[in-house]
Structure 1
Amino acid sequence: MSADASKSDNAVDRAATWLATGGADRTKATVPQVRERFGLSALQAVQAIRESHLIKARSH
């Protein structure tokens, strides 16, 4: 795995944690918020959203 891929995976993980802990503004679209805040592509933003759902599900 390249350093860039590792760096972006880390950003996806950070975004997922941020979403799971309620960091996003729920009155606005999530994908643009994640893309802007963490510098992710649309695909990576969706991956972060999916991961955040898993994080929340594991916490219950």
Structure 2
Amino acid sequence: MNSNNWGGKRAGAGRKKSLFERKGRTFRLTDAEFLEVKPMIEAVRKRTEEAAMVAMKSRQ
């Protein structure tokens, strides 16, 4: 059989590693509860990602 470049591992392929290990969680919320919680989650993510970026820049 002839070899081809289909399938298999390729350098640089796939999802890039995240700055943080995040695990999926399941919560049952009412619509009102979700509207209250969502901005808090976004604020925490923004703060942690900005802190990580500052730490990475200081290492360089």
TM-score normalised by structure 2 residue count: 0.36
TM-score normalised by structure 1 residue count: 0.36
Q: Which has the higher contact order (CA 8 A, sep 6+)?
A: 2
Structure with more of its chain in helix, by fraction: 1
Higher Rg of the two aligned structures: 2
